[in-house]
Structure 1
């Protein structure tokens, strides 16, 4: 089942990666977490035909290839058109311009990291639970 596949997390900040590991451990999801430090590494991995993750969670501000640029490339490449991978941005940026730019890239969610661990954990839980419940209906209907 697709909902048990890997969760890809693209995050260059070590502290933020550790927080996400802790959140997923606390929530008890069995999905394997696959971390990437930048968009270039993630794109190379995602281009592999056998790779079909459950979800991609990406920071926006990263070295080499930022989240916005990575998402643009994914939207342009034919290999991704049939993979049906939900794509979510996580960021400390809350400004209207960042949110607007993210929405133009056909993302499925935009989560503000914030400084409150429990609130961040709740947003991640809501995100994963939503996609666990709905992934089959989206992929079976061709969306």
Structure 2
């Protein structure tokens, strides 16, 4: 089933990647985590026809290609938009511009990283559990 497929994490900060790795380990999900520190590499990866991840979790502020730009490309390219992958932003930004920009890109979630590990872990748990429960409700292509 699609809910057991890979979770792509696009995060340029090594410490933040380590924290997410630890959170997913603590939560015990069976999904394989595929990490990218460079969003251009993630884009090349998801452009491969055989790649159909469960969800994408992406930072916003990254060098080369930011999260907003990456999301926009995914929406504009038919091959990518047809994959119908839930797209979640994770960020320390909580300003009005970032939230408005994210919502205009038809995202399926926005998580503030914050500094409290347990709160961050709970947000990730809620997000993944939500999508595992509802993935088939949102797309008939998801199997």
TM-score by structure 1 length?
Answer: 0.97
CA shift for structure 1 position 81 = 2.6
Which residue of 1 is the match for residue 76 of structure 2?
76
Which residue of 2 is the match for residue 14 of structure 1?
14
Which residue of 1 is the match for residue 91 of structure 2?
91
Distance 1:96 1:39 in 2: 24
Q: Residues 54 and 141 of structure 1: is their aligned pair in 2 closer, same or farther, counting only changes over 3 Å?
A: closer
Aligned alpha-carbon RMSD (Å): 1.1
Q: State the aligned residue count.
A: 142
Can you list the C-alpha shifts for 1:30-87, whole angstroms capped at 9, x where unaligned?
0000000121011000100000000000000001101001011111101023211000
CA shift for structure 1 position 141 = 7.8
Distance 2:102 2:90 in 1: 10
Matching of residues 1-143 of structure 1 within 5 Å: 1-140=1-140
Q: Residues 86 and 15 of structure 1: is their aligned pair in 2 closer, same or farther, counting only changes over 3 Å?
A: same
Distance 2:63 2:95 in 1: 20
| SS of equivalent residue, structure 1 residue 140 | coil
| SS of equivalent residue, structure 1 residue 89 | strand
Distance 1:68 1:138 in 2: 22
Runs of 4+ aligned structure 1 residues displaced above 2 Å come to none
TM-score by structure 2 length?
Answer: 0.97
Indicate conservation of the 8 Å contact 1:38/1:66, yes or no: no
